[in-house]
Structure 1
Amino acid sequence: MNLVSLPITAIYAALCGFLVIALAANVVRFRLGKKVSLGDGGHKDVNRAIRAHGNTMEYVPLALLLMALLEINGGGDTALHIYGALLLGGRLLYAYGMLVPRSSANPPRQLGIVTSWIVIIGTGIQLLVI
């Protein structure tokens, strides 16, 4: 049997997992507070909580999969830690930007999404060239 160890990806997967649970709990908190069983009930703050969680669930799995493939293929510890830190930091920024209402441009949210794209594009390119 051939076992694969992915210690760097595992660190960021665990930390992202904690973030996903925190964001899911936040959705539950908002729904209970507004007495909403399903959806957002027309409440903007509930919708923002749902989208903060949903957007994280849309980007994190693909980014972690690409990181895992990169780690398996010898992508380099430093690169993996950079990608992991960007992913986690970006997701935290995005969540903050979504959950703290702003009336105008939202730099934390924008930076958060851009960092997720950087991780996905960077790991994808690196996988193609190694």
Structure 2
Amino acid sequence: MTLVSLPITALYAALSGFLIIALAANVVRLRLGKKVSLGDGGHKDVSRAIRAHGNTIEYLPLALILMALLEINGGGSTALHIYGSLLVGGRVLYSYGMLIPRSSANLARQLGVVTSWLVILGVGIQLLVI
């Protein structure tokens, strides 16, 4: 049996896990503070926190799976670190943009989602050509 080591993807998966836990803890904190046991209780800040967490959960698994496949298939470490940095940085930006009390269309949120899309597209394309 051959063991596969994915140290670069593992690094960004760990950082992503920390972000997911921080966002989940924020949802719990807000729900407890507003005495909401399920959903958002009609509170916009709770709704935004739930979506910041949910959106991150929606994007990270696919991107990390693609990165793992790229690492297994010999993708360069520089490219993987660029993808991983953009992915985690973009998710942090997106979350910040969702949680700050501004309009829903703000630069942090926009840059965050675009970087996530670019990582998924870039890794996907690179997987097709290697």
With the shorter chain as reference, the TM-score category is over 0.9
Gaps of 5+ in 2: none
Counterpart of 1:3 in structure 2 is 3
Distance between the aligned counterparts of 2:76 and 2:105, measured in 1?
A: 36
Q: Would the alpha carbon gap of residues 23 and 127 (structure 1) be closer, same or farther in structure 2, given more than 3 Å must change?
A: same
- The answer to whether the 8 A contact 2:91-2:112 is kept is yes
Distance between the aligned counterparts of 2:84 and 2:50, measured in 1?
A: 24
Counterpart of 1:89 in structure 2 is 89
Q: Secondary structure at the match of 1:102?
A: coil
**TM-score under structure 2 length normalisation:** 0.98
Q: Secondary structure at the match of 2:74?
A: coil
Counterpart of 2:16 in structure 1 is 16
- The answer to whether the 8 A contact 2:49-2:98 is kept is yes
Counterpart of 1:55 in structure 2 is 55
Number of residues of Structure 1 aligned to a counterpart in Structure 2: 130
Written as runs of structure 1 = structure 2, the 5 A alignment for 1:1-130 is 1-103=1-103, 105-130=105-130
Identity %: 84
Distance between the aligned counterparts of 1:94 and 1:103, measured in 2?
A: 13
Distance between the aligned counterparts of 2:53 and 2:113, measured in 1?
A: 13
Which string of whole-angstrom CA distances, capped at 9 and with x for unpartnered residues, describes residues 90-113 of structure 1?
A: 000000000001137400000000
> After the TM superposition, which parts of structure 1 deviate over 2 Å for at least 4 consecutive aligned residues?
none
